[in-house]
Structure 1
């Protein structure tokens, strides 16, 4: 009995959708003393992220790794896509390890991680699953594309 499997292409598309949603949702906000600073949305984190590299925040590097993973997935280089996704996951998780974040010229402050960060992390993880699933399928059946199943292959051969 064959079970329906989630398509790697669908996982990649969901990854992309989550990424765009995370850009318009709150990602984090610094807590400054007894007051709370403004909320930083995903688009702001994406634009300001390279500045964080100078403050020891390397999680922003997950973005170019994710973009690279998507491009390698599209070109069917699943090994490179999977490797980039794994590195992107590791980089994205470093955001949870830092206790403070630089806020302009006023110093570094503790911060609270918000929903948008987890959407972003989910996007990175889905890209990894898409690449890993495609890699496994391409290795187990070298004549099949990542989207085909063995029954698809049998149907294609019988129609020839």
Structure 2
């Protein structure tokens, strides 16, 4: 394996280009891993607040388990979870163009939650006003952003 110092001082500049190229080839993998890590970390954080004192709301893992029930009340944001999972699968299987489209769709679904002013808080159904968004929500969105970047890196290089 060639040492970076040898490459820098070598008259053959193509070695330096190859080294940079190999680093750029790893970016998508790094961003997919970051996206998955942020998604998992978002599950441990509050996602939104339903009182004006911003006391603890629901953690991401709770929303991941029961959020699908919101579909029956017109809240489709939970569907971003399986969509982001599909984008990771496309990124890992090197289908970057499809992965980019799916990751972008996932982010748009996630952002649609910002248009909701209230949320169902029990099965009655009782609605409560959304007063704010927790760190978990924003990390969830950033994880989709990293998925977009991972796929975009490869698409921009013309690899798929």
Shorter-chain TM-score range: 0.7 to 0.9
More helix by share: 2
CA displacement 1:111-149 (0-9 Å, x = unmatched):
221111000000011101101111112x1xx5xxx9xxx
Measure the CA separation in 1 of the matches of 2:146 and 2:56: 29
Structure 2 unmatched runs, 5+: 1-15
Q: What TM-score, normalized by structure 1, do the two folds share?
A: 0.78
Task: Give the CA RMSD over aligned residues.
Answer: 2.2
Name the structure where strand makes up a greater proportion of residues.
Answer: 1
1:25 aligns with 2:38: no
Cα distance change of structure 1 residues 36 and 119 upon mapping to structure 2, 3 Å threshold: closer
The answer to whether residue 142 in structure 2 is matched with residue 97 in structure 1 is no
Report the TM-score, using the length of structure 2 for normalisation: 0.78
Structure 1 segments (4+ residues) deviating >2 Å: 1-6, 34-38
Q: Does 1:108 align with 2:136?
A: no
Length, aligned pairs only: 138
Q: Which residue number corresponds to residue 52 of structure 1?
A: 70
2:53, 2:99 → 1: CA distance? Answer: 42
